[in-house]
Amino acid sequence: IPMTSDLTWLHLSALHYCDPSTGWDARNVRLSMLDDLKKLADDPSVRLRPDLIFFTGDLGFGVVGNKPGEALIEQFETGHAFLDRIRKVFEPEIPLSNVFIVPGNHDVNRNLVTKDQTFWLDAHSHEEITELIKSANLQWRRNMERLEDYKNFLQSKGYHHLLQNPVRLIYAQCRD
C-alpha cells in the first residue's frame, strides 16, 4: 500500500446484534455490507483500506431474555465476530488495536440500573455528574455496574487499548 498522508476510517454504529430479535432481516444487511466492503477493497480504482474502525454504540440489542442469543454478553460475542470479519476484509487486515468501540444505550445491562441511580442522575447538574465521574467513588462504581458485561467483553476479546481507565471506561489515543 503506497504511503500517503491521508487518514481513512470506517464508521459503523447501531448493529443491535441479537439474532433472536433482529437476525431475520439484519443478517442480509450484514452480509451485503461485507460484500460491499470487499468489492471496495478489491476495486483497483478505490482500494479501500481504512486505517481505523470506529464503532459508536449499540453493538448489542440489550438483554431480552434467557434464551440463546438473548444475553448481552452473547450479543457482544457475535458482534465482535462480525467486527473481526470486517477487519479481515482488508489486506492487510486492520489490527484490533485500530478498532475503537464506545458503548451505546443498548449496550447497558438495564437489569442492573436501579431507580435510585436514575433519580440521582436526573436530579443533578452536568457539573455534579462530572464531579461524580472524576471521584470514581463507590456511588460511581455502582453506576458503572450496568456496563460490566461490556467491560468483560473488551477484556476477553483483547481490546486492551480501550481499557486504559477501566473504572470509568474512558480512553484516549494519539496517533501519528
Cα torsion angle, 110, 130, 148, 98, sign: positive
pLDDT, one tens digit per residue, over 115-149 is 999 999 999 999 999 999 999 999 999 999 999 99
Per the listing, cell 447501531 goes with 14
Pairing of strands 52-56, 99-102: parallel
CB within 8 Å of 26: residues ≥ 6 apart: 15, 16, 17
Using a cut of 0.85, tell me whether the model's pTM lies above it.
Answer: yes
Cα→Cα distances 111→24, 44, 63, 76, 141, Å: 25, 49, 8, 16, 16
Cis, bond preceding 92 (omega within 30 deg of 0): yes
Confidence check: pLDDT of 1 > 60? no
* CA dist., res. 83 & res. 96, Å (int): 9
Pairwise CA distance, residues 100 & 83, whole Å: 11
Cα–Cα distance for residue pair 41/165, rounded to 1 Å = 34
pLDDT in tens, 25-68: 778 888 999 999 999 999 999 999 999 999 999 999 988 878 78
Residue 165: count other Cβ atoms within 10 Å of its Cβ. Answer: 11
Looking at residue 45, its pLDDT comes to 94
